[in-house]
């Protein structure tokens, strides 16, 4: 739950890459996780959405 607001904000900011890529996308990177993170299903969905958006808009 502690990651919900930051991930939503990050996903919203990532949309600034739409159509331009480049400089706007340089500040954002994929979120990588490790087994020890102990993700909840909701957090995992948000990370997946963030990473898919970055791949689509910024070409990660």
Tell me the pLDDT tens digit for each residue of 17-45.
455 566 778 778 899 998 888 889 999 99
Domain positions in the chain: 4-58
The predicted pLDDT at position 11 comes to 63
Answer with the residue of higher pLDDT: 54 or 60: 54
Q: Which of 4-8, 19-23, 51-55 has the largest mean confidence?
A: 51-55
Q: Is the pTM of this model over 0.75?
A: no
SS3 labels along 4-43: HHHHHHHHHHHHHHCCCCCHHHHCCCCCCCCHHHCCCHHH
């Amino acid at each position: 739950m502690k990651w919900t607001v930051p991930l939503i904000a990050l996903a919203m900011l990532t949309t600034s890459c739409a159509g331009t890529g480049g400089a706007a996308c340089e500040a954002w990177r994929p979120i990588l996780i490790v087994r020890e993170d102990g993700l909840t299903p909701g957090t995992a969905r948000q990370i997946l959405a963030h990473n898919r958006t970055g791949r689509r808009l910024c070409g990660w």
